[in-house]
Chain A
Amino acid sequence: MDSKLLLSVDIGSTYAKGGLFALEGEELRLVAREVRPTTVDDLARVFGEVREAVLAGRTGGLPASGIPVYWSSSARGGLKIAAVGLTPDLTLSVARMAATSAGGKVVRAFSYELSAEDLAELRSVEPDIILFTGGTDGGNSRVVLHNAAALAGLDSPAVILYAGNRKVRERVVGILGDRAAATADNVMPEVGTIDIEPAREVIRRIFLERIVDGKGLSSVVAAVGREPLPTPLAVFELVRTIAERVPGWEEFALIDMGGATTDFYSHAKSFRGGGSVILRGLLEPTLKRTVEGDLGLRVSAEALFRSEAAFLEGRLRESGRGIEGLKAYVAEVSRGTEYLPDDEEGRGYDHLLAAACVRAAALRHAGILQRVFTPQGGFLVQRGKDLRQVRRLIGSGGYLAAATDPAILLEACAPRSDDPDTRHLVPGSPACYADAQYLIPLLGNLAADFPGAAARAAVAGLKPLTPGRLEKEPS
Chain B
Amino acid sequence: MDAPRIVLGVIGADCHSVGNKILEAFFAEAGFHVVNLGVMVSQDEFLDAAIESNADAIFVSSLYGHGLIDCEGLREKAVERGLDKIVLYVGGNLVVGKTPFEEVERRFKEMGFDRVFRPTVDLAEVADLLRRDLEALKKD
Q: Residues on A close to B: CB < 8 A?
A: 86-87, 89-91, 134-136, 138-143, 188, 190-192, 278, 280, 372-376, 379, 381
Are B52 and A372 in touch, CB under 8 angstroms?
no
B14 is an interface residue with CB less than 8 A from chain A: yes
Are A136 and B13 in touch, CB under 8 angstroms?
no
Which residue on A lies nearest to B40, using beta carbons?
A278
Q: Among B14, B45, B53, B66, which residue has the most Cβ atoms of chain A within 10 A?
A: B53
Q: How far is the CA of A134 from the CA of B54 in the complex (A)?
A: 11
* Cross-chain pair count, CB within 8 angstroms: 75
Contact (A374, B49) CB under 8 Å given A135-B54, A140-B54, A381-B40: no
What chain B residues lie within 8 Å of A139 (beta carbons)? Answer: 5, 52-55
Q: How far is the CA of A140 from the CA of B51 in the complex (A)?
A: 6
User: What are 30 pairs between A and B in contact, CB < 8 Å?
Assistant: A87-B52, A89-B44, A89-B45, A135-B52, A135-B53, A136-B35, A136-B53, A138-B5, A138-B33, A138-B53, A139-B54, A139-B55, A140-B53, A140-B54, A141-B54, A143-B51, A188-B52, A191-B48, A191-B49, A191-B53, A192-B37, A280-B40, A280-B45, A372-B13, A373-B13, A374-B15, A375-B66, A376-B14, A376-B64, A379-B15
* Residue in A141, A191, A280 whose CB lies within 8 Å of B35: A191
Are A90 and B52 in touch, CB under 8 angstroms?
yes
What chain A residues lie within 8 Å of B38 (beta carbons)? Answer: 278
Q: How far is the CA of A280 from the CA of B42 in the complex (A)?
A: 10
What chain B residues lie within 8 Å of A190 (beta carbons)? Answer: 35, 53
What chain A residues lie within 8 Å of B48 (beta carbons)? Answer: 87, 89-90, 191
Tell me the minimal C-beta distance from B54 to chain A in angstroms: 4
The 6 closest A-B pairs by CB, nearest first: A139-B53, A374-B13, A139-B54, A87-B48, A191-B49, A140-B54
Tell me the minimal C-beta distance from A146 to chain B in angstroms: 11
Q: Mark B1-27, 1 if CB is under 8 A from A, else 0.
A: 010010100000111100000000000
Are A191 and B65 in touch, CB under 8 angstroms?
no
* Residue in B13, B37, B52 whose CB lies within 8 Å of A91: B52
B39 is an interface residue with CB less than 8 A from chain A: yes
Q: How far is the CA of A87 from the CA of B55 in the complex (A)?
A: 14
What chain B residues lie within 8 Å of A374 (beta carbons)? Answer: 13-15, 64
Tell me the minimal C-beta distance from B70 to chain A in angstroms: 12
Are A87 and B51 in touch, CB under 8 angstroms?
yes
What chain B residues lie within 8 Å of A140 (beta carbons)? Answer: 51-54
Q: How far is the CA of A119 from the CA of B33 in the complex (A)?
A: 34
Contact (A138, B54) CB under 8 Å given A374-B14, A374-B15, A375-B65: yes
Q: How far is the CA of A142 from the CA of B49 in the complex (A)?
A: 15
Tell me the minimal C-beta distance from B52 to chain A in angstroms: 5
Which residue on B lies nearest to A377, using beta carbons?
B15
Tell me the minimal C-beta distance from A371 to chain B in angstroms: 12
What chain B residues lie within 8 Å of A143 (beta carbons)? Answer: 51
Tell me the minimal C-beta distance from B73 to chain A in angstroms: 18
Q: How far is the CA of A136 from the CA of B2 in the complex (A)?
A: 14
Q: How far is the CA of A379 from the CA of B16 in the complex (A)?
A: 12
Q: Mark B85-112, 1 if CB is under 8 A from A, else 0.
A: 0000000000000000000000000000
Tell me the minimal C-beta distance from B49 to chain A in angstroms: 4
Q: How far is the CA of A90 from the CA of B40 in the complex (A)?
A: 17
Q: Which of B29-68 contact A (CB under 8 A)?
A: 33, 35, 37-40, 44-45, 48-49, 51-55, 64-66
What chain A residues lie within 8 Å of B64 (beta carbons)? Answer: 374-376
Q: How far is the CA of A139 from the CA of B55 in the complex (A)?
A: 7
What chain B residues lie within 8 Å of A136 (beta carbons)? Answer: 35, 52-54
Q: How far is the CA of A191 from the CA of B9 in the complex (A)?
A: 13
Q: How far is the CA of A280 from the CA of B12 in the complex (A)?
A: 12
Q: How far is the CA of A375 from the CA of B44 in the complex (A)?
A: 22
What chain A residues lie within 8 Å of B44 (beta carbons)? Answer: 89
What chain A residues lie within 8 Å of B40 (beta carbons)? Answer: 278, 280, 372, 379, 381
Q: How far is the CA of A134 from the CA of B37 in the complex (A)?
A: 18
Q: How far is the CA of A141 from the CA of B7 in the complex (A)?
A: 17
Q: How far is the CA of A152 from the CA of B33 in the complex (A)?
A: 32
Q: Among A90, A141, A191, A280, which residue has the most Cβ atoms of chain B within 10 A?
A: A191
Q: How far is the CA of A263 from the CA of B39 in the complex (A)?
A: 34
* Residue in B7, B15, B16 whose CB lies within 8 Å of A278: B15
Which residue on A lies nearest to B3, using beta carbons?
A138
Are B49 and A90 in touch, CB under 8 angstroms?
yes
Q: Mark B117-132, 1 if CB is under 8 A from A, else 0.
A: 0000000000000000
Are B65 and A86 in touch, CB under 8 angstroms?
no
Which residue on A lies nearest to B16, using beta carbons?
A376
Q: How far is the CA of A381 from the CA of B48 in the complex (A)?
A: 19
Contact (A278, B39) CB under 8 Å given A140-B54, A375-B64: yes
Q: Among A134, A138, A142, which residue has the most Cβ atoms of chain B within 10 A?
A: A138
Q: How far is the CA of A192 from the CA of B45 in the complex (A)?
A: 11
